[in-house]
Structure 1
Amino acid sequence: MRILLVDDDKACADSIGGVLRDEGFVADHVTTLADATLSASLAPYDALLVDRMLPDGDGLDWVRERRRAGSTVPILIITAERDAVDHRIEGLNAGADDYILKPMPLDELIARVRAVMRRPVATLDPVLRAGNVTFDPSNREVRVAGKPLRMPRRETCIFEMLIRRCGKTVTKGMLEEGLYSFEDEVSSNAIEVGIYRLRGHLLGSGATATVHTIRGTGYVLDAPDEPITLPEIPREVPKAALVAAQVAVVLSSQTESPALVPAAIAASLPEATPSETATAVVAAVLAVSLAKRGEEI
């Protein structure tokens, strides 16, 4: 989730930006209303944190302009200069979703940001679902069939963007805009790597939700009606090898970069022993080779 912080107090902005990033948000920081307008026109933000006393005007006037233009993005005013009751009332009546006085406990600020971001769907179940996979935005927890699925922050962020638009195509550009700030250096295949690692986690955990590549467009999270089941495993064949082979075949048919398959295989077998991992790699290579050979026949 991406947030724009508009504040000319560098020390305060650094503190707020740091805690936002620690909590899994992507944070952009600008110091003027002109830059805020430009940033809001370039990136889709999930919330705006706006100071009042800025070098080129009152942040509250900017909030009024946003609301008159039809923006429904949650906006939180953060200020130390205008803290009287009538100022807070003015801010809320102008369109702010919350009015917070500096200095504030940063954990409270995070809680307030999450609260205003939940309001548009307050009447719905806050837990998002796709097949047997659930995602709870309040604690950013992914579960497969009720069991926690622990993933690195980047894959979790990608999964959140996909599950929020389950069944709809999410373009590579949308993922980049939601995952990286203007200051981040993004490699050309960063999204592809993240997607393949996410697929490995989902497939390895028995998730029925799968990520499909829409070539030339983006990705879509799909949840089939029928659960995915593994075939009966003969005793003489290590389960890790069969799981790896299945993952490899699926990924090799969905991705344009088969070289990225080993990373997904490793993610799909977090509890495998070294010998099982070695067997899995061999099985994966054979499975991809046979799959490609079958396509040529």
Structure 2
Amino acid sequence: MLGPIIRILVVEADRASAKSVADALNDKGFVVDTAWSIEAARDAVSVAPYDAILTERVLPDGDGLDWVREQRRAGRTAPILIATAERGAVRHRVEGLDAGADDYIQKPIPMDELVARLRAVLRRPSATLGPVLRAGNLEFDPALREVRIAGRPTRMPRRETCILEMLIRRAGKTVTKGILEEGLYSFEDEVSSNAIEVGVYRLRGHLQGAGATARIRTVRGIGYVLESEDATPIRIPSAVMLAAKVAAALSSRDGATFPALSPGAASLPQPEAHVAALAAALALSMTQLN
């Protein structure tokens, strides 16, 4: 099964080199943002969630290793790979790993190896990524990057899977279109005005076709919310409520008076009026039998 889209931040002082790495990772299916300084990297992580970060050490405004320590102190747990052109000794690599990096690699690095290393650090235990997320009979396993409906693995394109992950992580809460766009596209991507609507429409088709009990509700002008069937409030028709009041009054041994009808009850829709009248007649006949 294709996994969801993975968003990477590349922090590289040389803009041409950063673009080359970003283009290569884009070709592999990653969404990539670039930053050319520690300050720009700080801005990026403050507005977008990243699945992994690739940074070099020598940056215009400081040592990338200090920024790694800063990220770990701030509680950010995204895997970080440090890339350096220095022919460093073992102590440099140890220093990088002790600072909180997940990998320390020597530049230049073949792109296939870089992709493999990224995928390796992204294969983290479920305890780190969190438990399986559920909404109704729909499940998303962050560790396996797998969608299951009624226990059966379900295939869907990466973009729709990414939308699903963002919705199910906030199940029951409204997710704005802006948040969905941030998770799907890099800052440089050109996004069509209806891209999110199309993605949600296709995701709905996958969920309904596979028999998911969770539903995506549109919050007009704001975004979307994933709701499970068991969390959807049950609407009791007004005819049923009226019939229940009639039945309670007519079957009362204390001779309770007929319940007053509210203005709304006097103008029930035609089908509900018929139901209420039938229920009242049935209740009356039952009291007469007693």
- Give the CA deviation at 1:178: 0.7
* Unmatched tracts of structure 2, length 5 or more: 1-5, 232-290
* Structure of higher CA gyration radius: 2
After superposition, residues 271-282 of structure 1 pair within 5 angstroms as: none
Q: TM-score, normalised by structure 1?
A: 0.64
**Cα separation, 2, equivalents of 1:123 and 1:194:** 25
Letter of the structure 1 residue corresponding to residue 128 of structure 2: A
Q: Which of 204, 214, 218 is 1:209 aligned to?
A: 214
After superposition, residues 177-196 of structure 1 pair within 5 angstroms as: 177-196=182-201
Where 2:166 maps in the other structure, the secondary structure is: helix
Determine if contact 1:20/1:110 at 8 Å carries over to the other structure.
Answer: no
Residue of structure 2 equivalent to 1:130: 135
Determine if contact 1:170/1:219 at 8 Å carries over to the other structure.
Answer: yes
* Unmatched tracts of structure 1, length 5 or more: 227-297
Letter of the structure 2 residue corresponding to residue 202 of structure 1: L
- Give the CA deviation at 1:187: 1.8
Q: Which of 11, 14, 37 is 1:6 aligned to?
A: 11
Residue of structure 1 equivalent to 2:37: 32
Determine if contact 2:102/2:121 at 8 Å carries over to the other structure.
Answer: no
- Backbone CA RMSD of aligned residues: 2.9
The alpha-carbon distance between structure 1 residues 152 and 92, as it changes in their structure 2 partners (threshold 3 A), is same
The alpha-carbon distance between structure 1 residues 123 and 151, as it changes in their structure 2 partners (threshold 3 A), is closer
Q: Please, which moves more after superposition, 199-208 or 92-101?
A: 92-101
**Cα separation, 2, equivalents of 1:17 and 1:128:** 31
Residue of structure 1 equivalent to 2:156: 151
Q: TM-score, normalised by structure 2?
A: 0.65
Q: Which of 44, 47, 51 is 2:49 aligned to?
A: 44
**Cα separation, 1, equivalents of 2:80 and 2:106:** 14
Residue of structure 1 equivalent to 2:118: 110
Equivalent pairs counted in the alignment come to: 223
- Give the CA deviation at 1:86: 1.0
**Cα separation, 1, equivalents of 2:210 and 2:154:** 7
**Cα separation, 1, equivalents of 2:164 and 2:25:** 19
After superposition, residues 36-115 of structure 1 pair within 5 angstroms as: 36-81=41-86, 83-102=88-107, 103=109, 105-115=113-123
Where 1:176 maps in the other structure, the secondary structure is: helix
